[in-house]
Structures are given as structure tokens and as C-alpha cells.
Amino acid sequence: MPCTWEQVPRFEVSIDPSDPRVSDHLESLCRECVLRYNDEVAHLAGVEIEAVRARKTPVEVTRVTGGITNSLFKVEFCVGEDFGASPASNAPTDSTAESASGCSDKKGPSGRLPVCLVRVFGEAGSSIIDRKTENRVFSDLSSIGFGPALLGIFRNGRVEEFFSQLRPLGPLEMVTEKWTPEIAQHLRYMHSLEPAAAGRGRDANQPDLWGRIMSYVAKGRELLKSSPEDEEDDFMTMLSTVEGEAKWLQRTIESRKSVDESPLETIVFCHNDLLSGNILVPKAGDGQSSLRFIDYEYCAFNPAVADIANHFAAVVESMLIVENDYNVEKYFPSKDLQQGETAIPDEVEVSADDVSPLTREQVGRDYSSRPSGSSSQQQVTAGLGGLGITPVEPGHHAYLSCSIGNLSLTNLDPVLRDYRHLQVVDVSHNRLRRLDALSAIPCLRVLNASHNLLRRMDCFTLARSLEQVDMSYNEIQELGDWSNCRTSLRELRLRGNAIKQIPAYGLKRTNHLELLDLSENQITTIENIAHLPELGVLKLTHNQISSLHGLDGLNRLRELDVSNNFVKASRSPALPPRTSLLQSLQGLSSWTCTSLAKLAVSNNQLGDLDTNLEVGQQQQRGCGFLVINIPTDTPARVH
């Protein structure tokens, strides 16, 4: 029988979690609560309830870990021979919500003695949460069987039903194929509810979100009045930033509202705090229980999409709470996972970089079975991120990125050889001389190996899928052969090396190259790049270039930096007295440039060359040969 708000047992007592006798107080509260629930709401098991009334049942009190704003205690009346501790040893102990106790599990208050969860509200949380409204919402949801049964209310907390057959979901289980559909289905059902106590407000189309944020900001400013002056400025700045960003976001969203509103924009009853710990699922072997949402203190009416987005962000927050590991890039669900196009398999064979193990303990066991030959194994593991679909094994998920920069690594082998699914690798700012381990990664797209000790480009086999490469600030003397990734390479950065020339074979058929940075090298001649039809940015600053011959054919070039070289001005007598800057640069007398928008020519040997730049039918004053910005709507032609 559901318990209405008027029927909920109430007690004029307060519980202090720090009181040495808190176990005695909790036992007394729950004993009276269970008896009144039996007498006034729903009859419980006859023999067991009479044993409670006669004080013949020992009680086990366990502190439940995982509460963020509240203190939680599990209180269980033990019947029969299952009780494993004497009443005298009932001091609270740390335990997870799903851990076994000395008592046998009992079903809820619909026929047997309930296990109680005592929730003592935290003072900090109570300063921003309306506890009366929270209790009313909890009662409304409990009365329709959505949440735990509400057994009683006391001054600074309440007594709820404890789901003994359920356990909290693991953080990475939130995006598995087993639980994602159930979470979505249960959330959709929750969004269809309209608890009267939640206060939908006069305007059903106005979300609670923006007002709630502003109230938090106001409360923060109020609390800061009693803070030390050295702390006040920093927090006031932070609060102002939050307030400003929230107002901007609200204006932006509201300005983009269309007539054909998406169902996800509909104002619905939202949970607003779907962390992994607030999602309970059946324990192994339990085929009768179903997924449940708990903890409704932040429930309110908001756009459905806000609840969904908050749930995705909660994956990262849950990893922080459960594993003390905060890494947005690593744990935030990929776009595919967010859109529900796929999910992480729940049961697959464990591999080194597959995320399907789902818990760091399982991953650790897998790693511990491997040879320990490298001291950087743990560092690589910590650098993994970017959950997503791997093209190596279609339909499977893996970590797609690895960032292990600035770790003084001297060797990547064999650390990275097992991570065949990686697409983005950052090994910058180390002491690496070779990259052989990367040869085993077939789908590598982005590589940052800058600031190392690399001397040769053949220090690894180039993946055909490479799109962006940064090997700046090494000791490379030859450009090397990039034809292996000719169909994919878009950006190549080799700044700060010792490259002397651009060989004919170097960039052969890299027809999709859009950016080439060879700054701070020893190049004397621009050659063998005129065949690059898509090249838009060319950086050659700080070389030994004396002529700009070799740019013919680069008709899509938007930005050219040849500053800090030895480029000279042309002194041909055929030039008119008043010439254009582009025409005056040695080597550019016949170059047709229709897209150039930025030219840097400072610190060359241009002498007193006229700084006028002819653009269409107009002339622009060249800004002292520093950087000249050319309007893109008027092509510049060299005569």
C-alpha cells in the first residue's frame, strides 16, 4: 500500500553523525519508525515486527560511503542466526552501499521487515537545497513506486527503504550496451512524471535551470561576506564568471529557439544529478529486481536535453568521485555514444586498450599480466583517453588517444605496441631518438613528437592514415619521404630542425597538404613544392632563403611567411618607377596569386624598396615590411 504524504511517520529528533552514540540513536529512531509504519501505513511481517516491538532483534548499523552532501547509514534488524555481530559492537563502519552485511537481505516494506537507509542532511547542502520540497517530491515518487519507500521523516533527515538487492552502477558502466538502453528508458519514464510537489511554476515553459544557477551565485556571495579578504576576491571573480557565462548561454539558447521545437527541448521533470551512484542496478544473480534512480534533491522541471547532457557529464564526475580520477578528455562519452548509435560491449575479451573492462581494477589486472620491461607503462595507461569506435576492429570500442608528453621518456618500445587502436598520440617534450613503436599503429591520424631528440625521419614507418604531424624542435637533418601518407597528410610541422633542402621525392604526391611549416631550418632554396595544389599556409621564417623562386603553382596560398631570411628586392630596369611590393620581391615576377591574404617579409635584405602593395586597382601601404594583410575579396596579381 503506498504511503501518502499525510501518512508519513514524523519524529521530532535530530541525528548528529559525529556523535559517538549515533548507532544507539539510529537504532532507536528506526525501531520506532518501523513500528509506526507497520501500525499506521502498511502491515509488515507479523512475527518479525513483534520481535522488533519486544526489542528481541539485534540491530546492525553500517555507515554507507558514497554520500556527497549527506551522511548515510544502513540500519538492519537481524532475524534468526544470520546476525554476525553482537549488539555491543554496532559502531558504524565504512562500507559501500552494495556490500554484504551480517544480516540476510530482506525485501521492502510490502510484506517483510524493511532494511532502513537513514539519510542525515548535510548542513552545506541544506543551504542551497529546499529540504521540505525534497521530502515532498520523494514522497510523491515513492507513492507511485518510482523510488524507495519513504518510511519516516525527522528534523534533519529521513528514513528510506534500502534496496538490498541492488548495487550502484560503475562510472564506465553508464555507457555500456547493457545499461544505456535501460537508463534511457527509465529516464524517459521519469520525464513523463509531474510530481505536484516539484512546483512546475506558473509558466510551464520556463525551466528551473537558470534561476537555480543565479540562486547559487547569490548564496555564494552571501557566504563570502564572512570569508577572509584574501579568499574573497578569487571566489567573487569565479562567481561573476559563472553568472556571466550562464546569462550568455541562456540568451544564446533562447535566441536560437525555432517554431519546430525538438522534443528534447520540452520542459519535463528532470533528475538533474544522474551520477553512477544514483543509478542502482540488480546484483549478479538477481533476475527479479530492476534499475532504479535514487536521490532526488536536485529534481526540477528543465529541458529534457539538459538532463541528458548532465548525465553524460556525470560520467566524468563519477570517475572523480569513485576513482579520484578527473579527466574530461578521457572519460567524456564520444559523439557516437551520446547519439545512441552504439555502446561499449558489456562482455568482451579484455585487451590492453579496450575500454570494455569498465573498471580500473580489471584494467590493472590485465596490465599486470604483461612483461614489465618499461618503467613508463603506468604513465602510458594514465595518458589514455578518447573513448570511441576503433577502425581496426569495426564495432569495437577503445581508447583512441594517448598523451604522454613531458615525461622524460627515452623509449616507447614496447609500451605503445599493444595500443593498435590509437589515432592521436602526443609524445612531445621527451628525450626520444626513435619512434619504432608507432609503426605498429595502423590508423594513426595525429602525431605530436615535437621537442625530442629525433635525427632521422625513418625513425618509424609512416602510417598511411596520418593527417597531422608535428616533429618540430628535434635534430632532423633531412625532410624524408612522406609519400606513404600522400592521400591523407594535411598538416606537416618540422620547425626548428636542421633541414637543408626540400628533395624532389620528399613531398611527392602529397596533394592534400594544406599547411607546411619549415621555419627555423637551414633551407636556402624554395623548391619541389609547386606541385602542392591545396597548400594554403607556408611558413619559412628564419631560414637562409635569398629568392622566392619556386612558388609558382601555389595558387591557393593564403598565408606566406618568409620573414627573417635573405630575400632581396629585384632591381630590373624593366620595372616601372612605382612598383608593387609583390612584384619587387626577387622570384615573384610571374606569380599569379588570387588568394594570398597574409604576407610576412620583415627582416630581409629589401633596402629602401617602396612599400606600396598593389591590390586590384588600389594601392595599400605595406606596414614596414612586418605583416601585410591583403583583402581576400580583391585578388592580387603580380605583373
Mark whether 417 and 432 lie in a shared domain.
yes
DSSP class of residue 569 equals: B
Mark whether 208 and 310 lie in a shared domain.
yes
Residue 147, pLDDT > 80, answer yes
Range of the domain at 459: 374-476
- Write the CA distances from 626 to 525, 615, 621, integer angstroms: 22, 17, 11
Instruction: Calculate the average pLDDT of the chain.
Output: 78
> How many CB atoms are located within 10 Å of the residue 114 CB?
30
Asked if residue 88 is part of any domain, the answer here is no
Last residue of a domain, one of 320, 339, 358: 339
- Write the CA distances from 260 to 203, 263, 266, 339, 424, integer angstroms: 20, 9, 11, 20, 39
Mark whether 47 and 143 lie in a shared domain.
yes
What is the model's pLDDT at position 505? Answer: 83
Asked if residue 74 is part of any domain, the answer here is yes
Q: Render 526-567 in DSSP notation, one character per residue.
A: --S-TT-TT--EEE--SS-----TT-TT-TT--EEE--SS--
Mark whether 334 and 381 lie in a shared domain.
no
Task: Please tell me the pTM assigned to this model.
Answer: 0.53
Asked if residue 347 is part of any domain, the answer here is no
CB 30 within 8 A of CB 118: yes
Asked if residue 529 is part of any domain, the answer here is yes
What is the model's pLDDT at position 607? Answer: 64
Asked if residue 494 is part of any domain, the answer here is yes
Which CATH number covers residue 211?
A: 3.90.1200.10
Helices (H) and strands (E) in the chain, counts: 13, 27
The separation between the first and the last C-alpha atoms of the chain, rounded to the nearest angstrom, is: 92
Q: Render 586-633 in DSSP notation, one character per residue.
A: TT-TT-EESS--EEE--SSB-TT---EEEETTEEEE--TTSEEEPPTT
Mark whether 379 and 452 lie in a shared domain.
yes
Mark whether 184 and 322 lie in a shared domain.
yes
User: What is the pLDDT confidence band of residue 550, given thresholds at 50, 70 and 90?
Assistant: confident
Domain tally, the chain:
4
Mark whether 126 and 231 lie in a shared domain.
no
| Encoded amino acid at 483, one letter | S
Radius of gyration of the chain (CA): 34
Residue 35, pLDDT > 60, answer yes
Residues β-bridged to residue 614: 619
**Alpha-carbon distance 89 to 581, whole Å?**
91
Asked if residue 637 is part of any domain, the answer here is no
How is residue 284 written as a grid cell? 549478479
What is the model's pLDDT at position 125? Answer: 76
Helix (H) or strand (E) holding 405: none
Mark whether 40 and 139 lie in a shared domain.
yes
Asked if residue 267 is part of any domain, the answer here is yes
Residue 472, pLDDT > 60, answer yes
Highest mean pLDDT among 80-94, 409-423, 563-577: 409-423
What is the model's pLDDT at position 33? Answer: 93
Mark whether 175 and 288 lie in a shared domain.
yes
Residues 6+ positions from 241 with CB-CB distance below 8 Å: none
**Alpha-carbon distance 410 to 452, whole Å?**
9
> How many CB atoms are located within 10 Å of the residue 15 CB?
20
H-assigned helices in 449-597: 581-584
Last residue of a domain, one of 476, 505, 540: 476
> Residue range 516-543: average pLDDT?
92
**Alpha-carbon distance 139 to 30, whole Å?**
18
Residue 323: is it exposed, middle or buried by C-beta count within 10 angstroms (0-12/13-18/19+)? middle
CB 490 within 8 A of CB 468: yes
Mark whether 198 and 296 lie in a shared domain.
yes
User: What is the pLDDT confidence band of residue 612, given thresholds at 50, 70 and 90?
Assistant: very low
Residue 12, pLDDT > 90, answer yes
Which CATH number covers residue 439?
A: 3.80.10.10
- Helices 46-53 + 22-40 axis angle, to 10: 130
Which CATH number covers residue 77?
A: 3.30.200.20
Asked if residue 360 is part of any domain, the answer here is no
Residues β-bridged to residue 119: 72, 158
Mark whether 442 and 515 lie in a shared domain.
no
Residue 372, pLDDT > 50, answer no
Residue 629, pLDDT > 60, answer no
Mark whether 33 and 76 lie in a shared domain.
yes
Residue 262: is it exposed, middle or buried by C-beta count within 10 angstroms (0-12/13-18/19+)? exposed
Residues for the chain: how many in total?
639
